[in-house]
A = this chain, B = another copy of it.
Amino acid sequence: MSEARSVLQPGATIGILGGGQLGRMLALAAARLGFKCHVFSPNPDSPAVDVVHRVTCADYTDTQALDRFAGEVDLVTYEFENVPAECATFLAARVPVLPDPEILATTQDRLAEKNFIGALGIGVAPFVAVEEPAGLKAAIEQIGRPAVLKTRRFGYDGKGQATIKDGGDPQAAWREVGAQPCILEAFVPFAREVSVVAARANDGSVECFDVTENEHRDHILKVSRVPAALPEAGAQEARRIAETIAQKFAYVGVLAVEMFVLRDGGILVNEIAPRVHNSGHWTIDGASVSQFEQHIRAVAGWPLGKPIRHGRVEMTNLIGSEIEDYRRWLAIPGAAVHLYGKKAVRPGRKMGHVTRVFAD
**A residues apposed to B, CB below 8 Å:** 10-11, 24, 27-28, 31-37, 49-53, 285, 288-289, 297, 302-303, 305-306, 308, 310, 323, 326-327, 330-331, 333-334, 336-341, 343, 352, 357
Chain B residue numbers with a CB within 8 Å of A340 are: 34
Bound form: Cα–Cα A327–B334 in Å: 31
Highest count of chain B CB atoms <10 Å: which of A49, A288, A331: A288
Nearest B residue (CB) for A343: B11
Q: Are A297 and B333 in contact (CB under 8 A)?
A: no
Q: Are B310 and A327 in contact (CB under 8 A)?
A: no
Bound form: Cα–Cα A34–B352 in Å: 9
Q: Are B288 and A306 in contact (CB under 8 A)?
A: no
Q: Are B31 and A323 in contact (CB under 8 A)?
A: no
Q: Are A50 and B53 in contact (CB under 8 A)?
A: yes
Highest count of chain B CB atoms <10 Å: which of A27, A37, A339: A339
The listed residue (B35, B288, B338) touching A357 by CB distance below 8 A is B288
Chain B residue numbers with a CB within 8 Å of A357 are: 288
The listed residue (B50, B53, B331, B333) touching A31 by CB distance below 8 A is B50
Q: Are A303 and B330 in contact (CB under 8 A)?
A: yes
Q: Are B288 and A305 in contact (CB under 8 A)?
A: no
Which 9 interchain pairs have the tightest Cβ spacing? A34-B339, A306-B333, A50-B53, A288-B334, A34-B341, A31-B51, A10-B339, A36-B50, A303-B331
Chain B residue numbers with a CB within 8 Å of A338 are: 32-33
How far is the CB of A108 from the nearest CB of chain B, in Å?
Answer: 30
Chain B residue numbers with a CB within 8 Å of A308 are: 333-334
Nearest B residue (CB) for A331: B303
Q: State whether A337 and B288 are in contact (beta carbons under 8 Å apart), knowing that A305-B330, A330-B297, A330-B305 are contacts in the complex.
A: no
The listed residue (B27, B53, B302, B336) touching A289 by CB distance below 8 A is B336
Known: A34-B341, A50-B53, A288-B336. 10 other contacts (CB 8 A): A28-B51, A33-B339, A34-B339, A34-B352, A35-B341, A51-B52, A51-B53, A297-B330, A308-B333, A308-B334
Chain B residue numbers with a CB within 8 Å of A37 are: 50
The listed residue (B34, B50, B285) touching A52 by CB distance below 8 A is B50
How far is the CB of A328 from the nearest CB of chain B, in Å?
Answer: 10
Q: Are A302 and B288 in contact (CB under 8 A)?
A: no
Q: Are A341 and B31 in contact (CB under 8 A)?
A: yes
Bound form: Cα–Cα A285–B288 in Å: 8
